[in-house]
């Protein structure tokens, strides 16, 4: 099963969008699923306020962890990480025309652009392709 399917399965079990994405990459991050679940909880439903999509937030959390050098004494990877963040957001935007929960889910008088499950699948798929594709 690929990450897209793992994330969708977690989402169907009640994980929020962020949790579904982040928890699908726990093995690669070498963190427990419970730690990831707790860390990501407040980012679902667009940080609880229909802002940046939770699936996008989860995708960016995982990418940041993978991109950072973790050097507390002399951080050197911020610019590289910011570039990765922009690339991933752009890819998600190009696929869905927004990265904002309130726009993706639509609302009064606004069309629904993508379902939560679809956003979760897209975010996991984009991450897997960026960091774990066969080279």
The answer to whether the beta carbons of residues 114 and 122 sit under 8 Å apart is yes
Mean model confidence pLDDT for the chain: 95
Question: Which backbone phi and psi does 102 adopt, to 5 degrees?
Answer: -60, -30
The answer to whether the beta carbons of residues 66 and 57 sit under 8 Å apart is no
Q: Give the per-residue pLDDT at 107.
A: 81
Please tell me the chain's helix, strand, coil percentages from 3-state DSSP, rounded to the nearest 5.
70, 5, 30
Q: Give the per-residue pLDDT at 134.
A: 63
Mean pLDDT, residues 26-31 = 95
| Residue 80 DSSP code | H
Q: Give the per-residue pLDDT at 52.
A: 97
Task: Give the tens place of pLDDT for each residue, 59-106.
Answer: 999 999 999 999 999 999 999 999 999 999 999 999 999 999 999 999
**10 pLDDT tier (thresholds 50, 70, 90):** very high
Reduced to 3 states, what is the DSSP secondary structure of residue 28? helix
- Structure tokens given for 61: 């959390």
Number of residues assigned to the chain? 135
Measured distance CA(102)–CA(110) in Å, rounded? 10
**123 pLDDT tier (thresholds 50, 70, 90):** very high
Predicted TM-score (pTM) of this structure: 0.95
Q: At what angle do helices 54-67 and 33-40 cross, to 10 degrees?
A: 130
């Amino acid at each position: 099963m690929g990450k897209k399917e793992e994330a969708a399965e977690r989402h169907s079990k009640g994980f929020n969008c962020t949790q579904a994405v982040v928890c699908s990459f726990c093995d690669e991050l070498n963190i427990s699923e419970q730690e990831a679940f707790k860390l990501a909880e407040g980012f679902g439903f667009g940080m609880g306020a229909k802002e940046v999509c939770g699936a996008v937030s989860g995708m960016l959390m995982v990418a940041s962890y993978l991109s950072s050098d973790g050097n507390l004494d002399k951080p050197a990877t911020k610019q590289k990480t910011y570039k990765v963040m922009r690339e991933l957001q752009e890819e998600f935007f190009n696929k869905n025309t927004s990265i904002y929960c309130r726009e993706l889910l639509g609302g009064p008088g606004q069309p629904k652009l993508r379902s939560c499950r679809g956003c979760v699948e897209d975010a996991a798929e984009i991450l897997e392709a960026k960091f774990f594709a066969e080279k």
